[in-house]
Structure 1
């Protein structure tokens, strides 16, 4: 399906990626949650998660470099140790799904990510050791098999007691390592064509200036207002994808 993508489609994806970059710069998450609904009808369900996985590596590399001094190696190592194998398992499972099954999985995860984030937010400072590792293993499985799970990792790190730049840096470092494994699995399974790489790089490049623009916009609305708007958009997008997938499975 990627072979049928027109210049207009590329322009539309770049515009949405730019907006998603702004959302990510304001709230700490956004691109992985907002891109699937626009990408699915353009590139097909099977290509969505591999494309987002590659584009996320670009953004995570820049975030880790920018906030490297705040990186928490101990908590990052705990999460990575248990999340690496489950992330690879989730990515492999994704390659075995049909297009309709992919739509249902992505849609369901998008909708569930919001209540999970709020629940983990109430555990701030109380998640460590075995609890952090258990949460990391579950996150790895989710990350490997779908998109938009960055909000879950952010919430896990907040629940573990990190805040501010430490959350951003540690999230980026963990996501970069797990993302590399995820991309390797997709590449080995033939889920990443040259056209997919082009689309992924376009998204990563288009989202970058949005992050810097977010610095100017962050003061216009409260953080809570931004998050509520993004939550509503994500839930709506997840519902649409889930209904589309269920309709296709029923046919």
Structure 2
């Protein structure tokens, strides 16, 4: 299994854990990108089959310097994936880039991290409980945050994913934010695509049976979201977690189901 990051113990999309189990040979053949950050796992996925997002379209999007994505949960806290990080603690060497679809834009906002909270029961072999919080050194003003789902009411339909990850499997990170839409896939169908892996009720899957559109290397930790009503406000339903490769047929993206952990996320954020 692989995460969508570059940590050898993660899965193909985040880091490389689960997918690593089934495709170690493939993973080692894939070029890795990103810059190592002490104490932080290195991430790898991006949006395959996506189009460029417009400036200001998703103001809550965050790029983390270890090669992961995230979303502004509050003005000072970023929600991301546990597999992007090694531990809980006063980690101050992560840089968050916000407020610009172009990572090189002169108008981009940056903040360093002051503390990281990694889900204490995260399982590195199954990717259960794959969520984490990064507290920024100071609040970010002028950018919208994104609420998270607290019930399963929005865990179906068509979702949007976005990130600066690779646009093709094995590719490099992107300068510009890409976006794509992917349809919900039931747990039973998702499980049949990943024999021997754990796809449980705390995970949510999305993608196309024919492949072609997916999150990828460098998108780990980024949000999967949808409108609450037609044309209504956006709500986060998932966190990019893992999958086999990127945009392969019958290999949908597997995401942390945010509603399962909503109470724990809120409690952890309140304690930071």
TM-score scaled to structure 1, two decimals? 0.26
> Which structure has more helix as a fraction of its residues?
1
TM-score scaled to structure 2, two decimals? 0.25
> Which structure has more strand as a fraction of its residues?
2
Structure number with bigger Rg: 1
